[in-house]
Structure 1
Amino acid sequence: MEGAVLVKEPAGPRPARVPRLRALDGLRLLAALMVAAYHYGGRDGEVSTAWGTSPRLQFPTASEWFAYGCLGVQVFFVISGFVICMSGWGRTPRAYLASRVSRLMPAYWAAIVLVTVVFALPPVVYRAVSPSDALLNLTLLQQPLGVDRVLGVCWTLWAEVRFYALFAVAVVLPGVTRHRVVLFCAVWTLAAAMAQASGEPFLKTLLMPEYAPFFIGGIGLYLVHRDRRDATAWGIVVVSWLTGQHHAVADLWHAPDPDFFSYRSAGVIVLIVTAGFALVAAIALGWFSWANWRWLTVAGALTYPFYLVHEHLGWVVIGAVHRTLGVPAYATLPLTVTAMLALAWLLNRFVEDRATPWLRNALTSGARVRGTGTGQAP
């Protein structure tokens, strides 16, 4: 364009380097293993095809406890609230967007392609989505558009994306300050409760009343990490825990019924939610600073790709090891988890380690045009 000069966009202030909370990495992996236990032995459905019978028959006692593994998602959301507030502090909106996209998408795209290809193989009998739906899954918009999902766990990513967007618009865009973070937590808590009361589908989709307390609680715990004497932050955490345990019980408890796979005790649900909040709080307060082993960082790096691939590809491994090779169920389970962790290592090593920095740099190193004549962008 005539009369235009290319000028690199300033990078903006960089967030201060903070010591890595390795115990948080370990808790991430623990939450992922909880979800894997649920998917492998805590419910019926397609996993029964993999085992050849219901997991209740494979794990007569353990299956009742595996059924609580789905609460690993709520623990994930608390961790996510903590980490997103920490990583967004001091970042420009562009850097925040780049960090989220580069963190989520490379492993996600690889998992979509991998699961689609494996499910299309003749020896694999699981139902595959249509090519059109598989392509749309690459956008992470399959859930709101009502399209079949390639990855069963991607519904949690849709919740994460909505949280990232809300935090970006309300906090990162105007500039992260403690005041804005506190206001965001207060307004979202009240608005989520109103959305639940209204019954309006759009408001419930936007504000996620059933998951908001966990994200908000994690944000509050990051404020506690910054200042353990912050009474307002502790208030955010307590209110979030109270509302979070309510939603968890409301969503996951049911009256004893022999037709259900399992019966989850309301008391145990509350206990697990409480433990999730308490463990993140202990990490925030520095009580696990002694857990500074390097392998915990590796565990944290493997968690996300493991979470993406473990369910559907785990079924394939279970079918091959248990039904084809005749390995007992209690040996098949750790073998399957090990295989999925090995696959997660490959995804981290050959996809994330290479694509994540490239994508982040591509999203942050663009140029803008400052016009000197017409004022029009090229």
Structure 2
Amino acid sequence: MRTSADRLYEIDGLRLLAALCVVLFHYTFSGWAGGTSPVVFAEASAWSKYGYLGVDLFFLISGFVVLMSAWGRSPRSFLVSRAVRLYPAYWVGIAITAVVTVTLGQGLFEVSLPQVLANLTMFQSVPDIANVDVVYWTLWVEMRFYFVILLFTWIGMTRARLMAGLWGWLGLTFAVEAGLLPGAADLIVQSEFSHHFIAGMALFMVHRFGLTPQLALLVPVCLGNAVFRAIGYAGAVGERYGVSYSAAVVTAVVVAAFLVMTLVALRATRVLARPWLVTAGALTYPLYLLHAHIGFVVFDRVGAVVDKYVLLAALILVMLGAAYLVHRFVERPLAPRIKRLLSGRPAAPVLGVLVAGRPTG
């Protein structure tokens, strides 16, 4: 079991930073650009439109941390740890978002009881049922990544097997991109984001075992593909919202994310680690789950009568407060009970675990 001395507090801070980037993207750009908020932040959107790249950082962190969490676990133990970490806050997020949508968001968003029930499983994408909140799409990406990790726990994790698996996954990624595999293969390969997960896992290997020539090659190859796909994805986002993205800025952000996580893996960021960052990390997941549709509804209802920057700051603070309440009164008390129920044996106190997103989602 990892001790507090082993915890990478700086990753907790990075997770909250990634979440806040996504929050600002939604509140100051995609909301009004996508027609779900009447409050326009034209000047701020010049930089906040890049905030969606926080998801890229989420997935990179997820590759690192989920492998760290799964190392040495049995398949059942890994599944229990993921269920304990993901579902309590998610169910509360769905409930709150659905209630706000029904009571205050009519005409802006629609939600139905069958939709809510399907979303509770976190597998609503399988029957192609709409998400209750737009941000849930990243959870489906994460769930498929967990399937890959589950396979590793079933096979048995060793350095050699992990390296073979990572190179194999990257090879499948290139095969999908080249059209050598049927589109259905991408359900598991996830070529749009696989390089982030692969690189994150490789960086965990660097952190645990040290830098090797294979890892020194694998991470830059992933970075190259990440930049390539990020530029293409930025074009699609720009087309959706009617804006243009700078390839240089997108590249710089992706490179910066890889660089920071490489420094974490090399233990060069320990000087920045502070125990209080655990709280920052704990807020990330519930903040991500709660902020989007509820925030859009608030902007729609009171945006015309409150100064937009006052409203923006207040809304972010309220969302952070709500995230803390979910963590304190839902995640912390329910985690050991759910773990005990699923494990079939008494559970040790849950002190908190690092997860992705992940928005990681």
With structure 2 as the length reference, what TM-score do the two structures score? 0.90
Given the alignment of the two structures, is residue 190 of structure 1 paired with residue 171 of structure 2, yes or no?
A: yes
User: What are the ranges of 5 or more consecutive residues in structure 1 without an aligned counterpart?
Assistant: 1-14, 368-378
On the 8 A contact 2:93/2:290 being kept in 1, the answer is yes
Residues 1-378 of structure 1: matches in 2 within 5 Å?
Answer: 15-17=1-3, 19-44=6-31, 48-50=35-37, 52-53=38-39, 58-121=40-103, 125-169=107-151, 171-198=152-179, 200-253=182-235, 260-323=241-304, 326-365=305-344
On the 8 A contact 1:217/1:240 being kept in 2, the answer is yes
Deviation string, structure 1 residues 48-81 (Cα, Å, up to 9, x no partner): 443x25xxxx322211211101111110000000
The structural deviation recorded for 1:347 is: 0.6
Q: For 1:256 and 1:334, how far apart are their aligned partners in 2? A: 26
Query: What residue identity is the alignment partner of 1:32?
Result: A
Q: For 2:9 and 2:301, how far apart are their aligned partners in 1? A: 35
From the superposition, tell whether residues 34 and 255 of structure 1 become closer, same or farther in structure 2 (CA, over 3 Å): closer
The structural deviation recorded for 1:349 is: 0.7
The structural deviation recorded for 1:228 is: 3.2
The structural deviation recorded for 1:270 is: 0.8
Aligned to 1:153, the other structure's residue is in SS state: helix
Q: For 2:213 and 2:337, how far apart are their aligned partners in 1? A: 41
Deviation string, structure 1 residues 273-316 (Cα, Å, up to 9, x no partner): 11111111111212221223232110000000000111011113
Match of 2:355 in 1: none
On the 8 A contact 1:88/1:176 being kept in 2, the answer is no
The structural deviation recorded for 1:88 is: 0.8
The structural deviation recorded for 1:146 is: 1.0
Q: For 1:330 and 1:315, how far apart are their aligned partners in 2? A: 15
Match of 1:6 in 2: none
From the superposition, tell whether residues 123 and 152 of structure 1 become closer, same or farther in structure 2 (CA, over 3 Å): closer
On the 8 A contact 1:36/1:310 being kept in 2, the answer is yes
On the 8 A contact 1:81/1:214 being kept in 2, the answer is yes
Aligned to 1:60, the other structure's residue is in SS state: coil
Aligned to 2:243, the other structure's residue is in SS state: coil
User: What are the ranges of 5 or more consecutive residues in structure 2 without an aligned counterpart?
Assistant: 347-361
Q: For 1:280 and 1:166, how far apart are their aligned partners in 2? A: 21
Query: What residue identity is the alignment partner of 2:279?
Result: V
Q: For 1:255 and 1:78, how far apart are their aligned partners in 2? A: 20
Query: What residue identity is the alignment partner of 1:151?
Result: D
From the superposition, tell whether residues 294 and 122 of structure 1 become closer, same or farther in structure 2 (CA, over 3 Å): same
The structural deviation recorded for 1:224 is: 1.1
- TM-align CA RMSD: 2.1
Q: For 2:154 and 2:104, how far apart are their aligned partners in 1? A: 49
With structure 1 as the length reference, what TM-score do the two structures score? 0.86
The structural deviation recorded for 1:340 is: 0.6
Query: What residue identity is the alignment partner of 1:81?
Result: G
From the superposition, tell whether residues 328 and 47 of structure 1 become closer, same or farther in structure 2 (CA, over 3 Å): farther
Q: For 2:321 and 2:224, how far apart are their aligned partners in 1? A: 38
| Bigger RCO (CA 8 Å, 6+ sep) | 2
The structural deviation recorded for 1:317 is: 2.8
Q: For 1:357 and 1:235, how far apart are their aligned partners in 2? A: 41
The structural deviation recorded for 1:43 is: 2.1
On the 8 A contact 1:37/1:69 being kept in 2, the answer is yes
Query: What residue identity is the alignment partner of 1:213?
Result: H
From the superposition, tell whether residues 92 and 63 of structure 1 become closer, same or farther in structure 2 (CA, over 3 Å): same
On the 8 A contact 2:9/2:274 being kept in 1, the answer is yes
